[in-house]
Amino acid sequence: MTTPVLARCTCGGFRFKSAREPIVQLTCHCLQCRQVSKAPSTNFAFFKLAGSEVEGKTVVHSFTADSGTKTARETCATCGEMLMDRTEAFPKIIGVVADRIQLPYEFQARCHVWVESKCADVTIPEGVKAFARNMQ
């Protein structure tokens, strides 16, 4: 993967840049991700905040996750696309929706989380770790 890693929403109102590659990439099947993204799951690439830049107005959707952790999903204030995940349990990292990251980036899920809540018609790829809830 080449750095920097760049992401943006469709309208261009949000931009993300990281001087570092993601520290983990995963697919989340939790109900909150599905509700905000309007998709059966969401692919995230998580980056250290140090060395990352975020620009643009977002709308914050705060909630207490099933894990009991205060979490926020952020969408673009203009086009409404889901962009980021921030969790109080991991204050020094930021999750970016992988679909928003520009080429030559290629998403490679290390694992799937919250598979106990996945849609019935979703199949976890063979050989990829799957966690009923979070990665713990």
pLDDT profile of the chain (136 residues), mean per 10 = 84 94 94 85 94 94 84 92 90 94 92 94 93 83
**Beta strands, E only, 9-57:** 15-18, 24-28, 42-48, 52-55
CA–CA separation, 21 and 93 (whole Å): 12
Which pLDDT score, from 0 to 100, does residue 2 have? Answer: 59
Cβ atoms 40, 34 nearer than 8 A: yes
Pairing of strands 93-97, 82-87: antiparallel
Which pLDDT score, from 0 to 100, does residue 37 have? Answer: 81
